[in-house]
Amino acid sequence: MYAKRGKALSRELPRLAAAAAQDGLSQAQRGLSANVYATAPGLRYQRTGQLLRQLYAAGTAGSGSLTVELGDRAAYASHIEYGTGPYELSPAQLEAYLKVLPPGGLLQFGRSGRAYLLPGPYIGPGLRFAQFKTHERVQAFMQKLWT
């Protein structure tokens, strides 16, 4: 019986991984909108949409594990995620904010086209949301297997 349930979960992992990647991507897109594209435009640069176009997500499953990769290939993505200069967040600071972020929440520090040194995290919240939704789905699937 346990082996049968283990096989069922292994068969479900690829679908869970794909759903997690999509959840993370959607949440990251929401974060980009809130922290970049829906803010007051800057005076010195033109928005190109490059951050949004270079955002990527991939979910993989194998050997009883599930992995989600979420990132942005834009050269300046980390400047948006962490901020720059005196407003820059350390990875530990960002992680502390993410730990208390409610499911589906966004982190906003007032970043805009004019206040462009402030952080506007979107990758971290996307990953946190993917993690939350995956836990929900795995719990529901496990309950289904045991009932």
Contact 89, 41 (CB under 8 A): no
What is the token pair recorded at 134?
A: 């995956």
d(CA 127, CA 31): 11
pTM of the model: 0.92
pLDDT digits (tens, 9 = 90+) for 99-139: 999 999 999 999 999 999 999 999 999 999 999 999 999 99
pLDDT for 124: 98
> In this structure, are residues 43 and 114 in contact, taking their beta carbons and an 8 Å threshold?
yes
Map out the domains of the chain as residue ranges. Answer: 2-146
Each residue of 57-67: pLDDT tens digit?
999 998 889 99
Question: Residue type at 3?
Answer: A
Written as six digits, the tokens of 76 are: 């300046």
Separation in Å, CA 5 to CA 11, 63, 139, 145: 10, 15, 13, 6
